[in-house]
Amino acid sequence: IVRSSSSAKQSLLRRSFSSSSSSVPERKVAILGAAGGIGQPLALLMKLNPLVSSLSLFDIANTPGVAADVGHINTRSEVVGYMGDDELAKALEGADLVIIPAGVPRKPGMTRDDLFNINAGIVKNLSSAIAKYCPHALVNMISNPVNSTVPIAAEIFKKAGMYDEKKLFGVTTLDVVRAKTFYAGKANVPVAEVNVPVIGGHAGVTILPLFSQATPQANLSADVLTALTKRTQDGGTEVVEAKAGKGSATLSMAYAGALFADACLKGLNGVPDVVECSYVQSTITELPFFASKVRLGKNGVEEVLDLGPLSDFEKEGLEALKPELKSSIEKGVKFANQ
Ligand code: NAD
Ligand code: LMR
């Protein structure tokens, strides 16, 4: 265990910060995979979040350095680094929110499903530990293939008898971030004002941006909308190819992960009308897990919002994504029950 500074200094810091933020609840956030390409910038961004009082950084290696480094930043949270399985329990105990970017990233030519063999086992072990040490925490799953890792976590939680479907989230925020950026470029509108829901899942054609619902509205041609949809679906691959063997999106993912975690913390704290897209247990289609707009609240998912009106192009996209998403879900469920 590596604390960011001496315990005497820490208790002084705790006192001074707690008096200045007495109306903000204490929240412990744990990042599993915190020394990785996503984990490090995500740790930085969560350290900057005033809703966090305790930041727990877990990885199988290199967390002492990350925790010492991030811990010097003069913001509210206490930072503690934990390394190796022996320290996983302490990393998780008391966590309100667990963010999981642990696992291997893609190289050019791979699909997200090619990561299944390695990452499914990692997610299974980490989910078992969550069930044991922080069964009431919200879980933000980043590790790929998200379409399968979320069902794996759900099955592990069911076996442990603590599954609460309101508390398990696949993080699809990067798809929304990309859709907003690409749409703003084509629609020539200020990117900060753009909203675009993205539904389905998080891999290739299962990523379905609903540009017909994008705001501010713009009259884009069918060809432009098709190209925007394809670019959003291939956004991850665009980064993987540009990084040429050095991994996948890390910085934009850390930004997206921090945005989604902030929304979860706001929901927990009772802020009204917090709505984000996420891949959750769902009944709005026949698929048991599906990404759509979700209202976040004190218990996690407060409401899974329906899809709203879809264009014909989007209706086709919705039908086209179902077989792949269904088989990715089944693959995860089967693995967890082996
Ligand atoms: P990375 O290899 O840079 O970092 C992964 C980290 O996980 C490493 O530090 C590694 O030590 C750690 N790790 C491995 N096994 C672990 C375990 N059992 N417990 C804790 N930590 C463990 O990879 P990255 O670029 O940070 O990507 C991580 C994952 O996130 C990949 O699966 C990637 O595909 C996925 N990802 C998802 C999205 C999304 O939108 N959901 C976006 C980008 C990347
Ligand atoms: C992404 O969308 O960037 C991630 O899922 C990583 C990847 O493999 O594309």
Average pLDDT score over the chain: 95
> Is 34 marked as a binding-site residue?
yes
Taking the CA of 256 as reference, the closest ligand is 1
Q: How confident is the model at residue 8 (pLDDT cuts 50, 70, 90)?
A: very low
User: How confident is the model over 105-161, as pLDDT tens digits?
Assistant: 999 999 999 999 999 999 999 999 999 999 999 999 999 999 999 999 999 999 999
Centre of ligand 1 from the C-alpha of residue 252, in Å: 14
Mean pLDDT of 262-284: 98
Q: Is 37 in the pocket of ligand 1 (CB under 6 A)?
A: yes
**Euclidean distance between CA atoms 101 and 62, whole angstroms:** 15
> Mutation test of ligand 1: which of 142, 173, 175, 255 has the most ligand atoms closer than 8 Å to its C-beta?
142
- The answer to whether residue 327 scores a pLDDT higher than 70 is yes
- The answer to whether residue 189 scores a pLDDT higher than 80 is yes
Nearest CA to ligand 2 atom 1: 236
The complex's ipTM works out to 0.99
Q: Using an 8 Å Cβ cutoff, are 292 and 305 in contact?
A: yes
- Would you tell me how many other CB atoms lie within 10 Å of the CB of residue 20? 10
Q: Which atom of ligand 2 is least distant from the CA of 237?
A: 9
Q: Using an 8 Å Cβ cutoff, are 66 and 58 in contact?
A: no
Residues labelled as active-site residues: 202
Residue 188: DSSP 8-state: T
The answer to pTM > 0.90 is yes
Q: Using an 8 Å Cβ cutoff, are 117 and 143 in contact?
A: no
| Residue 305, CB-side half-sphere exposure with 13 Å CA sphere | 17
Residue 208: DSSP 8-state: E
**Which residue spans within the chain are E strands per DSSP?**
2-3, 28-32, 54-59, 78-83, 97-100, 138-141, 168-170, 198-200, 207-209, 274-281, 289-297, 300-304
Q: How confident is the model at residue 3 (pLDDT cuts 50, 70, 90)?
A: low
**Euclidean distance between CA atoms 203 and 225, whole angstroms:** 19
The greatest distance separating any two alpha carbons of the chain, rounded to the nearest whole angstrom, comes to 63
**Euclidean distance between CA atoms 42 and 251, whole angstroms:** 8
Picking from 280, 207, 235, the residue whose alpha carbon sits closest to that of residue 106 is: 235
| Residue 166, CB-side half-sphere exposure with 13 Å CA sphere | 12
Centre of ligand 2 from the C-alpha of residue 170, in Å: 13
User: How confident is the model over 59-98, as pLDDT tens digits?
Assistant: 999 999 999 999 999 999 999 999 999 999 999 999 999 9
Q: Using an 8 Å Cβ cutoff, are 100 and 126 in contact?
A: yes
Residue 139 pairs with which residues in a beta bridge?
A: 98, 168
Mean pLDDT of 285-305: 98
Q: Write down the pLDDT at residue 2.
A: 53
Mean pLDDT of 284-305: 98
Q: Write down the pLDDT at residue 23.
A: 85
Mean pLDDT of 291-304: 98
Alpha carbon 39 to its chain's center = 11
